[in-house]
Each structure stands twice: as structure tokens, then as C-alpha cells.
Amino acid sequence: MENVQPVRTKKANKGTLINLEKGKLPPQAVDLEEAVLGAMMIDKKGVDDVIDILHAEAFYKQSHQIIFDAIFKLFNESEPIDLLTVSSQLKKDGQLESAGGDFYLIGLTQKVASSAHIEFHARIIIQKYIQRRLISISSEIIDEAYDETSDVFDLLDSAETKLFEVTQGNLKKSSEAAEGLVSQALKKIEEISNKEGMSGVPSGFSKLDALTSGWQPSDLVILAARPGMGKTAFVMSMAKNVAIDFDTPVAIFSLEMSSVQLITRMISSETGISSGKLRKGDLQPHEWEQLNVKVKNLSKAPIFIDDTPSLSIFDLRAKARRLASQHGVKIIIIDYLQLMTAGNINKGGGNREQEISTISRNLKALAKELSIPVIALSQLSRAVETRGGSKRPLLSDLRESGAIEQDADIVSFIFRPEYYGLTEWDDDDHSPCEGQAEFIVAKHRNGGLENIRLKFTGHLALFSDLEESFSSEFQSKMNDFITPQNPQDAFGDVAAPDDDGDVPF
């Protein structure tokens, strides 16, 4: 009979047993940690080289974490960093003995002669730290996978989130001290001042950007309107502005239209050639030239479109993480929220209102996790149509869930009086409203509310600043096109044909 050696096991939660390999130490590089800390205390250049690479948790030895914390505090306060100042800071924090005392600090400075290879050493320390984090995360995933009560899709989402945090280097912290947060806020304010107040992603609409200072990181923005108002046209005009004018990567999740249809809309608005002509390919020689020249900018634009139908919030989060990691996407657009499904995240089932609540809550969580704005289109209820008087939408018109209003940082609407056959705005001047739309900011968690009027060119599916001036040449080409006779049908289910006999988008 073979001599079978017993296998050491660790008892996990709820009685599951996990095999542990014997003789395995966590990945570490203590000698390099000593060299890096010693170099930081003898050479200021060494501190500058690695202070943005390392953090306290990256060190394996607890005493090294304490010493690095002291160095980091001195750096933030613009104090000199050497053996004496680090020792003094540790005494002030009551951590000198925990760090090994003055004798240990002296020993660290004697281990190195200069900071010549400090950056290379620091990156090895980070690699060892990442390996330890992966081992820790894997152990947690194994524990949860053995738990029969765990939902497998929640487990997948949790695993991907933790791994994404490691990839991005944004490991979760339990809390942050006010001292560090104030420093971050002051730095951000200084950066904003250099960007003329534009702290977020510009939309390309001047009055809207003046109100919001750009779409802010971690914000969930809801853009709602009745069908046919031009929700998709607005976000596609905005995506074109963001990607082409500001060279900012944009991700678009289209659950309603195909990716080719969306990009055709962009080509139409970018070139000034009607959608009907583009679909037929019936272009004049000068229009072919115009198309070939202007489409080059669009073809190079950092725009990523996913047209997966019935996309679940779980799949969207996974795809968004990959786009942010691989392509540096800075803004996400979803068209539209009610076509999404909660998938298996909504364990309890429930009605559609609860499902929409789950989706909106997860969209806000995604915006915070990636620290980028998420713009989700939403339908409005039919109450707008049946209401007498002004047809301007209200927050109470949001369809299917009050949680949308609660979770969103900004709730906005698009209103076009022409849709209802009106020819004038209902203001004191009763000014004409032909070819115009109103972008209504009805909720703004971090700013003011305003109704912003924009120019709307229906046959090009284009929104632009109302004050925008067009060149005479471009304007003359615009006059060659005939806008729909019934403005209500410009984006409705049944639209009037354009000059080519085709229905505009």
C-alpha cells in the first residue's frame, strides 16, 4: 500500500474545505523594499521617481509600510526627506518603534549608495504586490464559488470587478483622510482653472457646457423624451463633437439601432448630405468629393459602437470595463435604458419598475467605478401627450421608475414645439420655434437648472448651437434640401419623405 501524505486544508465558510499547497510563501521582495526606502531617504530624486508608483500597501513588511507612510506625508507637505526628518515624522506619529527604531532606519540608508535603479526596483515591488492581490482575490472567489447560496452571475461580476481594480491600480480603500482629499481637491481646482472652467467632458454645446462645466466623472446623466423628439440625434451629435472636436474616446451602446445606421447618421450630420441620398448613393460629383473629404475625420474618431440587442446590465458593465481599460473611453452613452434587462442581477424577479430600478442603480455604480460620465437615454410616459397646456416634460413623466430620478445626477429632457404643431415658443416674445429644440435640465445635483435652446436640422439628424453661424456656401447647400412638411414626423414612426422620396431618420 502506498504511503499517502496528508494534505493540509483550510476550513472555509460554511464547512467547505480548500486545499492549500505546503511551503508556499507570498510573493515578496523584502530586499528591494529595503533598497527603495533607503534610496528615498538619501536622494530626493529617488522620491520623485517612485512616489507616484508605490503606495504603502505595496510593501510586504508592515514596518516598511509605516516608513513609506511617513515619507509620503513629508512629500505631501513639501518637507525635506532624509534620515532625520523621517525619524522625526515617525516619532510625531508614534510609530518609530513599530518601524524598527532609528537603528533600523540607519541600516536602510546603508544598504544603497544611490537611487540609480530605484524605479526598476519599485516596479518589481508593485509586481509582487499584484501577485499577492491576485492570490487573495482568487482565494475569495474560491470560497464564494463553494457557497451554494451564491448567485453565479453575481460571483462573475464580483470577480471581474476585483480583477479590474487590480488592472487599473485603483484598489478599493475603506476610507480616506480629509488631509489627502483636500490635497486632491485643490489639485483638481488648479487643473480646472487651466482649462477655463471645463472640468468634465465637453458636449460641444456652448451653453450646456457653461452650465455643467462638461459632463462630470462618475455622474449618471438621464436624457429623456417622447419617441420622435430626437434623443438619439442629440447624443449622436454630441458624440461626434466629443470624438472629433475634442479627440475624446466615446463608447455607444445602441440597443435600438444597428451600428451601421448610427454611423450613417454621423456621416450625414458631418458632411451635410441628407440621409436619403446616402442610403441611395445618389450623389452629385461635388457631394462625392464632400463625402470623401469630410468622412476622413469621422473614420479616425475614437468612437466605439456596440449594437448588441437586449443587453443586460451585467454584460454592459463587463464591456464598459474592457473599453475603459483597452481604449481609454471617457464617456459612455446608452440608447436606451428601457431596452436593457437586469439579467440575473435582479434575483428577486419582481415587476418592471423594480428591474428598471436595478438597472439605474447599477449604471450609477458603473459611472463611479470607472470615474467617467454615463449618459442613458430614457422614454417618457404618455402623460405628456394627454396633458393640456404646455407639453414640456416634467420629472414625474419619467417612465416606469422613480428610481431613475433618484439615482441620476442630472435629469434632462428634449422638447421640440414643432412636434406638436406649434410655431412659436410660449415665452413673452412668442419667438418662432421652427428648427429649434429645448434642452431642459430639470435636475442637477451639483449645479443650476436651465432651459437651453438649440438649433435642430431634422433631415441631417443634427443638433447644434442656436447662435452657430453657417458659411454662405454651406447655407446654400442647406437650401437645396426640403425639410419634412410635418415636423412631428421628423423622427416619428411614420415620417414625411425628403426630396429624394426617402424617409429621414
Closest CA to 136 of 98, 112, 171: 171
Nearest Cα residue to 360 out of 316, 394, 393, 323: 316
Q: Grade residue 174 by pLDDT with cuts at 50, 70 and 90.
A: low
User: Which of 343, 380, 375 is CA-nearest to residue 359?
Assistant: 343
pLDDT at 11: 42
Q: How much is the average pLDDT of 327-340?
A: 88
Query: Which stretch of 170-179, 216-225, 297-306 has the lowest confidence by average pLDDT?
Result: 170-179
Q: What pLDDT sits at residue 91? A: 93
Pick the CATH number of 30-168 from 1.10.260.40, 3.40.1390.10, 1.10.860.10, 2.30.250.10: 1.10.860.10
**440-465: average pLDDT:** 87
- Domain ranges in the chain are 30-168, 197-343+352-465
What pLDDT digit, counting tens, does each position of 388-437 carry? 777 788 888 776 666 787 888 999 999 888 888 887 887 767 788 888 88
pTM of the model as a whole: 0.64
Query: Are the CB atoms for 364 and 210 separated by under 8 Å?
Result: no
List b or e across 2-21, with b for residues whose CB sees 16 or more CB atoms inside 10 angstroms: eeeeeeeeeebeeeeeeeee
Q: Which residue shows C-alpha cell 515617525? A: 90
More confident residue, 498 or 207: 207
* 3-state per-residue secondary structure call for 128-170: HHHHHHHHHHHHHHHHHHHCCCCCHHHHHHHHHHHHHHHHHCC
Pick from 13, 319, 26: nearest CA to 145: 13
Cα angle 400, 403, 409 (rounded to 5 degrees) comes to: 125
- When mean pLDDT is compared over 4-13, 405-414, 491-500, the highest value belongs to 405-414
**Superfamily (CATH H level) for 197-343+352-465:** P-loop containing nucleotide triphosphate hydrolases (3.40.50.300)
The continuous run of DSSP H or E covering 9 comes out as strand 9-11
In this prediction, residue 349 carries a pLDDT of 52
Q: Which of 195-209, 218-232, 288-302 is most confident?
A: 218-232
What is the pLDDT, as a whole number, of residue 253?
92
Mean pLDDT of all residues belonging to the chain? 78
Percent pLDDT > 90 in the chain is 17
Tell me which residues are annotated as active site: 256
DSSP letters spanning 426-450: SSTT--B-TTEEEEEEEEETTS--E
Question: Given the DSSP bridges, would you call strands 410-415 and 374-379 parallel, antiparallel or unpaired?
Answer: unpaired
Q: What is the pLDDT of residues 106-148, one digit of tens each?
A: 999 988 888 888 889 999 999 999 999 888 888 888 888 888 8
Angstrom distance (rounded) from CA 504 to CA 461: 8
Predicted local distance difference test score (pLDDT) of residue 487: 41
Confidence of residue 5 (pLDDT cuts 50, 70, 90): very low
Asked if the model's pLDDT at residue 337 lies above 80, the reply is yes
